[in-house]
């Protein structure tokens, strides 16, 4: 940082008083006499003092993460000095900010409004810590929001590649699976095909799991190479495993989707093989929602 005076508290407080006298500032209504009360100014000064302490390490850093909450959003983009102030605060403990339920919203807002050089530094950190964020309770939410809004083609492709190349790891994670699901919803054919390749050979295992089954179902809905890859992966399992899948709490939805979508896509031999594997065991599929599989099988005329 070339000029630390730009971040002094006196500089920030002077900027703050100028900002507070500007009409567009979205803070609580002023008293009836007009102007901002001393309470409003002093409260905001106290927030900035706490954030300054956070930046300089003069108070407990972990506790001061809470300073960067959504209530501070109204102060962003008011001046270059204020944006620098926020940028330094966010970057000082970037990973801790990004996994905080509220502070992450401030960081994401910064990625929207900061100048290009600052945004790129934040993007670089996102790429570096993407897998860590994806597997965190609040980090995965922040990462999904960034993936949705990222408008830089290079960084967007890099981030999507990190997710797709690590699809198996993330699909088996309690929070990471939400990131894989989110990426699939974007209908990026290159990324979807990459995810299908990485999950090939593991689709049956994933189908037994609550969130993994969602991922497999979504891949089955893609009517191109990824869909065929996933179908062949599921059909490769033995009859015993296919029946277990059809009877499982989560896997039965995958089998239903498989039957509903493959009738007009698979070759006749593959489709008949699927139906004939299941049909002799219809009596085991009498419970709801497995009974839907029975109904589908009963409506089909397939040679034995």
Is residue 6 predicted with pLDDT exceeding 50? no
Lowest-pLDDT range of 3-7, 81-85, 125-129, 300-304: 3-7
| Band of residue 142 on the pLDDT scale cut at 50, 70, 90 | very high
Q: Is residue 206 pLDDT above 70, yes or no?
A: yes
Least confident residue range of 60-69, 160-169, 257-266, 287-296: 60-69
Q: What is the rounded average pLDDT for all residues in the chain?
A: 77
Token pair for residue 207? 């189908």
**Among 9-23, 52-66, 108-122, 264-278, the range of highest mean pLDDT:** 108-122
- Residue 258 has a pLDDT of 84
pLDDT of residue 32 exceeding 60? no
pLDDT at 45 over 80: no
Q: What per-residue confidence (pLDDT) applies to 84?
A: 83
For the segment 173-201, the average pLDDT, to the nearest whole number, is: 94
DSSP code per residue over the chain: ---GGGG-HHHHHHHHHHHHTSTT--SSPPPTTSS--HHHHHHHHHHHHHHHHHHHTSS-HHHHGGGSSGGGGGGTTS-HHHHHHHHHHHHHTHHHHHTSTTHHHHHHHHHHHS-HHHHHHHHHHHHHHHHHHHTSTTHHHHHHHHHHH---HHHHHHHHHHHHHTHHHHHTSTTHHHHHHHHHHTT-HHHHHHHHHHHTT-HHHHHTSHHHHHHHHHHHT-TTHHHHHHHHHHHTS-HHHHHHHHHSTTHHHHHHHHHHHHTTTS-HHHHHHHHHHHGGGGGG--STTTHHHHHHHHT-----
Kindly tell me if the per-residue pLDDT of 80 is higher than 70: yes
For residue 59, pLDDT over 60 is answered with no
234 pLDDT band, cuts 50/70/90, is confident
Please say if the pLDDT value at position 29 is more than 50. no
Tell me the pLDDT tens digit for each residue of 102-129.
888 888 988 988 999 999 999 999 999 9
What DSSP string describes 171-200? HTSTTHHHHHHHHHHTT-HHHHHHHHHHHT
Residue 63 has pLDDT above 70, yes or no: no
Res. 50 pLDDT band, cuts 50 70 90 = low
pLDDT computed for residue 186 by the predictor: 92
pLDDT of residue 71: 57
pLDDT at 17 over 50: no
pLDDT for position 67:
56
């Amino acid at each position: 940082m070339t000029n630390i005076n730009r971040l002094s508290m006196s500089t920030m407080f002077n900027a703050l008083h100028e900002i507070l006298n500007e009409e567009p500032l979205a803070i609580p209504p002023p008293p009836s006499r007009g102007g901002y009360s001393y309470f409003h100014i002093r409260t905001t000064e106290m927030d900035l003092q706490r954030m300054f302490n956070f930046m300089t390490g003069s108070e407990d850093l972990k506790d001061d993460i809470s300073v960067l909450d959504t209530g501070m959003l109204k102060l962003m983009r008011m001046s270059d000095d204020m944006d620098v102030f926020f940028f330094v605060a966010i970057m000082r403990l970037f990973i801790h900010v990004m996994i905080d339920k509220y502070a992450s919203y401030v960081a994401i807002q910064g990625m929207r409004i900061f100048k290009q050089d600052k945004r790129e530094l934040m993007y670089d950190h996102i790429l570096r810590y993407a897998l860590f964020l994806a597997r965190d309770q609040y980090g995965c939410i922040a990462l999904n929001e960034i993936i949705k809004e990222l408008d830089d083609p290079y960084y967007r492709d890099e981030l999507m590649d990190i997710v797709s190349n690590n699809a198996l790891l993330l699909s088996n994670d309690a929070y990471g699976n939400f990131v894989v699901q989110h990426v699939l919803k974007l209908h990026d054919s290159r990324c979807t095909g990459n995810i299908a390749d990485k999950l090939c050979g593991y689709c049956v295992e994933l189908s037994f799991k609550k969130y993994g089954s969602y991922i497999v179902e979504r891949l089955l809905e893609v009517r191109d190479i990824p869909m065929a890859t996933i179908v062949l992966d599921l059909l490769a399992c033995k009859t015993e495993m296919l029946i277990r899948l059809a009877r499982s709490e989560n896997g039965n939805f995958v089998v239903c989707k498989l039957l509903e979508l493959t009738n007009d896509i698979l070759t006749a031999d593959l489709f008949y093989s699927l139906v004939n594997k299941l049909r002799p065991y219809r009596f085991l599929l009498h419970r709801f929602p497995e009974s839907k599989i029975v109904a589908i099988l009963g409506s089909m005329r397939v040679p034995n």
